[in-house]
Structure 1
Amino acid sequence: MPTSASQEALTPLRPYCGRFAPSPTGRLHRGSLAAALASRLDAHAAGGRWLIRIEDIDPPRDIPGAGEDILRTLERLGMPSDGPVLWQHDRLDAYAAVFEDLKAKGAVYGCACSRKEIRAAAQALGLPEGVYPGTCRGGTGGREARAWRFRVPDRDVTFVDRLAGPYTQNVEKAVGDFVLKRADGLWAYQLAVVVDDIFEGITDIVRGADLIDNTPRQCLLYEALGAPVPRYMHIPLVLNDRGEKLSKQQGATPLADDDLLGELERAFVHLGFERIGADSIEAFHREALRCWADRFAEEPA
């Protein structure tokens, strides 16, 4: 039987709580602004709260001061958090506690494989590139564990995206057992994001379409932790001139500090709306909220 998150995906949980969770690897750019704006509008149109979380659990990639800069820019854009800002570096004990609980249940296991070994084993088995072949599922053969993986069931996971519709993935076949604790000792994104969404009571997640294939993994973690699955909406990505996702890693240009109203207008048009032509940031948010509520008011409840 497929695991289905369909009901949770279609039915808003109350009270509504959404979030924007950037990584502090650089300044806010147009791609991240589109996600922030969409998630905030969706939360406020539903009469809910919108929280900001700084996902700073990858020190080698994080840029000092970038998180604070993102928060200042969001304030200037008229988009402050509706509650305390959560910084993931303050949550390491929480991730460890959840990890130990999953480990005690046999849901995670140690993996001694290097990336080279994983690629070779997957190739030998004819598996797609990037799929973990389950080499250490039965033990490491006496080798020291490098990373710790979540034991994935061999069944479909389905959720209903509010824009894309039903999305199904067999995580074992598409990804394999995925990492919760990395070989460098850092907590993996998949674990941290689910633990924090549960902790903050997040009911609805609006984010970029590049993360849609991560969602089934997160659905499995919600299930393992006995928590309801949020609703999801994955918005179209902002692309660069080469058709690539606009990202800090690709050298995305930061927002124009002297034209923040224009940046908001451009983000709103990217989300599929007409340009508002507001004369102030405050007027923009009022009209954008009305437009968003009109478009999504008829969703199933």
Structure 2
Amino acid sequence: MISGSTTEQSSYYDNLEDMSVKDLLVNMNNEDKKVAIAVEQSIPQIEPLVLEIVKRFKKGGRLFYIGAGTSGRLGVLDASECPPTYGVPDHWVIGLIAGGDGALRKAVENAEDDFEQAWKDLEAYDINSTDVLIGIAASGRTPYVIGGLREANKNGILTGCVTCNKGSQVAIEANYPVEVVVGSEFVTGSTRMKSGTAQKLVLNMISTSVMVKLGRVKGNKMVDMQLTNEKLVQRGTMMVADALQIDKALAKTLLLKHESVRSAIEHYRREKK
């Protein structure tokens, strides 16, 4: 095991190859149950980070994620889901992965070991002091992430991180560290498992909380979602119909005309005054 690294501790389970499929599934599930508890314990770290992100968005700032491997993919995933879910521009939340977009599908050798590359990637987006940078690294020792956070700090950019080791270098570099210690993995060192699940939960919490506080959710509805397929058109139709107490046919007509649930509701109510 790597000294001081919880994510590299040996699994509580051994001789996995001798387990039945049911035992494998049950034991993995037992480990997964620990993740939500670990995330809950990190809420006091997540809250101030969210509050700072909201402040900067209101001043025209953006949110950047950087990471390598699974961590990088999770950041790109969260960023890519914000525009269709909340109707925000693509440049509001940006995810960058070590090795570039090609690394989303196939590992890029040694990409995460470069301390300088993350900042080069961020400079391409003209990152500045109104923005926020969150480094994602289960181990907390990824050079790509550490280097990016260091340079961001030098340039007056607010930094946060999501890591699964306590007191890691990534956490030391971040102004607002979020440390979700989930313990050893079912398969020793395989941080795509519990650690990856924990990171996904935290990123969900961060981006969702930010979007709610920016007014992108009304009640509990995604009123600004993009109508990119028939399922979403149907969902939006029901939302308009319920909000205005009108029939589905009229609701769909309004939705398609105004291109969002929010706009459809607002236009209808204005016309009825």
Between Structure 1 and Structure 2, the one with more helix by share is 2
Higher strand share: 1
Same fold (TM over 0.5): no
TM-score in terms of structure 2 length: 0.28
